[in-house]
Structure 1
Amino acid sequence: GVVTVLNLADSDQEIEGYIGSQDFSSAYYKTLFDKSKVKAVNMNVDIAGADFGEKLAAGLRFLSKNQGPYLIHCTEGKDRAGFVSAVLESLMGAKLDEVVSDYMTTYENYYAVKRGSDQYTSIANSNIVNSLTTVICGYPKGT
């Protein structure tokens, strides 16, 4: 099972609050958190934000220093988690079309966007392609 967690959405204090609530029901997550196997980076959704790159780097360093299997999550698992997964795929040698296809699976399943449609292409270009060129290539957002 999962032995290392990268929590993109929350801070340590927020996780401690969840764990302390009466309706918290994941003893396994608490065990991982208590063993410092959960990294909370409290990352904003805006990839152009001032501290996004620093938080991304901290999360990736954490993963590189800890054994898998990994769980990478945010709140809904489609924006931050999708982007971090795309970065990891890119670093492991995936081609852009593979990365885009994987990222866009969420839009196909979650929003019923049809592969090959103008909407699909527009979302792919404005979301994942733009984000990768901004973060990885260092281009200004929107170029």
Structure 2
Amino acid sequence: MKITIISVGKIKEKFFIDAISEYTKRLSKFCKLTEEIIPDERADDTYSLAEIEQVKIKEGIKIINSIPKNSFVVVMDIRGKQLSSEELADKINNLGINGISDMSFIIGGSNGLSEDVIKKADFKLSFSKMTFPHQLFKIILLEQIYRAFKINAGEAYHK
């Protein structure tokens, strides 16, 4: 399986980079993982809602252009469906059984995702109704993908 993580904004903090590297290494046993990092558009606190929407649209165009052709698109969206780790593992496993070998997970920036990106989703996934910093969320997502592959492989992992 090929997994692509598309996210907005570069991560600068070493501890986040180290955690991402660790899960990337762990996942290499199970899948081909690639990351596409979309530069975030400038948007300061003085921007109006209309200006923020324009920022999301600009980022959205770059996101859409980064989605691999024929990829099953999972958009991380607070309004999406919440799954247990086992249900996520089943989802990934069932996609593979049905011939889907390419998945893309999309993480928006601090302003969220444009509606055009959300419309591209084959599945909308939510980990919580809470808001997480996108840097931390990438680590949580990678950990859950890793956990799903461990579950599907029948290997032990913390419960």
Q: Give the alignment's TM-score, normalised by structure 2.
A: 0.35
Determine which structure has the larger helix proportion and give its number.
Answer: 1
Determine which structure has the larger strand proportion and give its number.
Answer: 2
Q: Give the alignment's TM-score, normalised by structure 1.
A: 0.38
Higher relative contact order (Cα pairs below 8 Å, separated by 6+ residues): 2
